[in-house]
Structure 1
Amino acid sequence: MTAFSTILNIPKALLGTLETLGFSTMTEIQQQSIGPILEGKDILAQSKTGSGKTLAFGIPAAIRTNVETNKPQTIVITPTRELAEQVAMELRKIAAYKANLKILTLYGGVPLRAQAGSLAKGAHILIGTPGRIQDHLAKGTLTLESIKTLVLDEADRMLDMGFYDEIVKIGSNMPKNRQTLLFSATFPPKIEALAKALLKNPLTIKVDTVQEAMKINELVYETADKFKTLNALIGSYKPDSLLIFCNTKAEVISLADRLQQRGHSVIDIHGDLDQRERNEAVILFSNHSKRIMVATDVASRGLDIKNISLVVNYDLPFDKEVYTHRIGRTGRADASGMAISLYAPNDSEKCSWITSQAKKADPSELRVDANFKMLSEFDSLCLNGGKKTKLRAGDILGTFCKEIGINHTEIGKITITDTKAYIALHHTVVDKVLKALKRVKIKKKKYIAWRVD
């Protein structure tokens, strides 16, 4: 593995930030692309989810940002709100080394006027979805003549969603001499057409996808009763965390209800939820307050949650690209994972492309613990303050341990957004903390706290 310190002219402060975040050596996509990106080359990269591509384009973006001017210099286009938020979160971490570097997200579910106000104040790196970027361009609240680098993240998914024309149109609003970086997990013909339209003499990079595939153990089960088989899988594999994919929101809601009735700790996520609900669902799953997430394909992209031990395709995906991205939620970075697909006897032809690469398993061979329940030991509290009130994880940890008397082992993951802070707490101490916060201040400020369901 090659160290980040081998990158020519990388600032020492950035190396320190990367070290603090636990990044000392580069992944393959980072090793092959960061140097050429810093040299100004266009990049066409095939990179599986979880391979480290966000840092591959994020590190050069941070290094090359001129904070003396308050105009946008890099724009990252993503297929979903969730991925936009995830990319922004990662870039903010590494951009912390450079004072006054501003990163702004642009996606639906948030009032256009509020985003327009933030744009008017200036930002250096923009991260957004095609539709909302188009909205701002149409209203004149966003101009892109200062853009030096365009990044298309998970481009194949954006094309699947029908955004080809929008992406090309957005690109036409930027300087012709800009740099363009296109990252895609697959290379269908539509990607080649988009690359020809937007990239100039790109360097093509393909990471070792065979090694990536070996990290995920793929199984398929034929069954006439999917719900019964799903419960048998849970009782047999006993996963720490489980992500289940369904094709429709109705099936997601129904399945989540049925699993909850059986005593499991479940959250669902689908397109009908507003942005706050979607963000909270992801937070509760990632901090292990909920151990099962049932999702539509809104979650097959943009979910960067570490250590998802099992992914189940309760409904078969419609095509191979969607399957690739669904199972890519497990086996991320250096971890291994398992992906299981369920299909009815009359679906055998429809899923032949899955059975050709996954091992067929027999449900009757599962050794099931019928009493096993995926219950969480943690609940989540929410505080009505976040980054905008300068609330930090260390402030919360210090107050809970020193002022309230909570053992640090009873405190799980702390997630801080712009306006809220979410704290995973062992369920035995939640009431104690809620009661104490009615009198205890954090950094001399009183915060309202409530339990998140």
Structure 2
Amino acid sequence: MSNFQQYELCDELLTSLTDLKYSEPTATQEACLPDLLSGKDVAVEAKTGSGKTLAFGLTILNKLSQTPASAQHPHALVLCPTRELAEQVSYQLQLLAKKMANTKILPLFGGVALAPQLSSLRHAPAVVVATPGRVLDIISQGKLDLSGVKTLVLDEADRMLDMGFSDQMDWILSAVHKQAKGVQTLLFSATFGGNIKSLSKTYQKNAEIIALKDAHTRANIDQVAYKVQADKREYAVAALLSEYQPDSAIVFCQTKLEVASLAQKLSDDGFTLVQLQGDMEQFERSNAIILFSADCANVMIATDVASRGLDIANVGMVINFRISDDLDIHTHRIGRTGRAGETGIAITLIDDSDEIKLIGFNAQLSEDIPIKQSQALRFHANRIKQPAYVGIQIDAGKKHKLSKGDILGAITKQAKIPSKDIGKIQVAAQKSFAAVKLRSVKRILMMFREEKVKGKRIRARKIE
């Protein structure tokens, strides 16, 4: 039976894998880990949710256990397309490195103040997980020395190119390869077009190319297209959500105006939802993602640009408000469901003018997307799925020496809330978040108003 014991991993990583309940490698991990751990340059074409973060995380940290990082230089650099993905990758690497002493993993991204990040770099991290724009700013100020980098990872490389980071990536990659010696360069992408092949050829040496399967194949996702009248799309989305009742769903729109209009319609109908679009401030984006991933909102309505780089588990359904312009975009959209071996549903709304696009998609797919008529779809207000939790923001975090255990203890002991009423707890530098059952919200907020937590008065509020 295949398991992680077959790989030459350090004891600390094997212990972390056991603690995290990772017993069997995914198909992606089995395919690429031998080459990754041997030190080869590798380019992997794999869908999102296939376990690539764990694969390159084990590679970075296992190498770090054998050749400890210099106190002055990061040992590894991971480039990600968005802040959200950088945070998620950093968090997973921190979990893996929990048993490894003095292994600092630092996320660097834009949309927040630069000064605190520069302060964190005074004691060099072992691993930097960064967005291209922010890390380029820091390098150009002479605040990040790349000469000690042994592993360079491009995560979701196709998304970074799509988002216009080509020049920044070229500068960073060139700088790393000039300053550091013997760099292992790893590239992960959901699609493998000409730009990705060129990137691999330029910056990788004799790279092993691993394509697990056709990137457009999604065997664990049931796809269907519903034919609708052009002015009935919003009604069709409400009807589908009330019919299928997914625990969580992402609806992809083409424009910010479509996002706003659909969000207003669904909110009026009684759905609990969040939006994700390009005009939102970073704190609004962060709140939306936290609420959705913590089951405090069932529906996320997003544009393609805003949703790039997201890594949200257990999304039961994806709805394409309009069919995308090309198959790669469609593939990325539907890849938000059916992750990590789970099954999912992907529904695309089309009208008469869209059928030619769908025919083009079907010509490239191993199995056609069937078309259903939408006349039978009916919106049922009494079948709206309500979220499991409500989100509470707590105005204190790691900088205030507040931990998950402190929050959990205060809620269960001081507010006398049963642990079954508490969902996800997340602690950031300045603020924290807790997902709780609606019936317990008032008592928890009263506790924060009237009592001290760790000897301090801490403000908390319900996130609307």
Q: Which TM-score bucket, shorter chain as reference?
A: over 0.9
Unpaired stretches in structure 1, ≥5 consecutive residues: none
- Please list, as runs of the form range in 1=range in 2, the aligned pairs for 1:99-110 lying within 5 A after superposition: 99-110=101-112
For 1:445 and 1:50, how far apart are their aligned partners in 2?
A: 40
Find the residue that maps to 1:214 and give its secondary structure.
coil
SS at match of 1:284: helix
* Aligned residue in 1 for 2:48: 49
**Aligned match of 1:29:** 28
CA distance in 1, matches of 2:170, 2:86: 19
Are 1:205 and 2:183 matched, yes or no? no
Distance 1:211 1:270, change over 3 A: closer
Q: Give the letter aligned to residue 398 of structure 1.
A: G
Task: Give, in angstroms, the shift of residue 172 of structure 1.
Answer: 1.1
Over the matched positions of the two proteins, sequence identity in percent amounts to 40
Q: Which residue of 1 aligns with 2:76?
A: 74
What SS class does the counterpart of residue 349 from structure 1 fall into?
helix
Residue number among 370, 391, 413 corresponding to 1:402 in the alignment: 413
User: What whole-Å deviation, never above 9, does each CA across 1:196-239 have from its counterpart, x for those lacking one?
Assistant: 10000111212245896110111111211111211221121111
For 1:402 and 1:289, how far apart are their aligned partners in 2? 23
**Separation in 2, partners of 1:290, 1:274:** 19
1:308 to 291, 307, 315: 315
SS at 1:335's partner residue? coil
Query: Do structure 1's residue 170 and structure 2's residue 172 form an aligned pair?
Result: yes
**Cα distance per residue 1:113-166 (max 9 Å; x no partner):** 332222233212111122222222222222312211110111111222232332
After TM superposition, the structure 1 = structure 2 runs for residues 172-191 of structure 1, keeping only pairs within 5 Å, are 172-174=174-176, 175=180, 177-191=182-196
| AA aligned opposite 2:415 | I
Contact 2:417 2:440 (8 Å CA) reproduced: yes
Give the aligned length: 452
The residue that corresponds to 1:18 in the other structure is: 17
- Residue range with higher mean Cα deviation, 118-127 or 89-98: 118-127
Residue 245 of structure 1 corresponds to 252
**Per the alignment, do residues 328 and 210 of structure 1 end up closer, same or farther by CA in structure 2, a change over 3 Å counting?**
closer
Contact kept? 2:294, 2:424, Cα under 8 Å:
yes
Deviation at 1:195, TM superposition (A): 0.6
Q: Distance in 2 between matches of 1:446 and 1:63?
A: 42
Instruction: Please say if 1:6 is aligned against 2:6.
Output: yes
Deviation at 1:352, TM superposition (A): 2.9
Farther-moved stretch of structure 1 (18-27 vs 331-340): 18-27
Deviates further, 168-177 or 204-213:
204-213
Contact 2:389–2:436 (CA<8 Å) still a contact in 1?
A: yes
- C-alpha displacement at 1:367, in angstroms? 6.4
Please give the residue correspondences for 1:22-421 in structure 2 after superposition, counting only pairs within 5 Å.
22-65=21-64, 66-67=68-69, 69-174=71-176, 175=180, 177-209=182-214, 213-224=218-229, 225-356=232-363, 357-366=368-377, 369-421=380-432
CA drift of 1:355 comes to 4.8
Report how far residue 187 of structure 1 moved: 0.9
Q: Distance in 1 between matches of 2:15 and 2:124?
A: 27
Query: Gaps spanning 5+ residues in structure 2: where?
Result: none
C-alpha change, 1:90 and 1:299, in structure 2 (3 Å) is: farther
Single out whichever of 193-202 and 234-243 deviates more from structure 2. 234-243
Equivalent of residue 454 in structure 2, options 425, 434, 443 = 443
CA displacement at 1:67 relative to structure 2 = 4.5
Residue-by-residue CA offset, 1:77-115 (whole Å, 9 max, x unaligned): 112222111111111111111122111222210123332
One-letter amino acid of the structure 2 residue matched with residue 343 of structure 1:
I
Instruction: For residues 251-285 of structure 1, give each alpha carbon's deviation from its aligned partner in whole angstroms, at most 9, with x where no partner exists.
Output: 21221111101111011011222222211111100
On the 8 A contact 2:236/2:377 being kept in 1, the answer is no
Question: Normalising by the residue count of structure 2, what TM-score does the alignment of the two structures yield?
Answer: 0.92
Whole-Å separation in 2 of the counterparts to 1:114 and 1:272: 25
Contact kept in structure 1, 2:46 and 2:215, CA below 8 Å = no
Tell me if the contact between 1:168 and 1:198 (Cα under 8 Å) persists in the aligned partners. no
TM-score under structure 1 normalisation? 0.94
Name the aligned partner's letter for residue 447 of structure 1. I
Cα offset, 1:330, TM superposition: 0.4
Per-residue CA shift, 1:346-370, capped at 9, x if unaligned?
2222343345531212213446534
Q: 2 CA distance for matches of 1:227 and 1:185?
A: 30
CA contact (8 A) 1:221 1:363 kept: yes
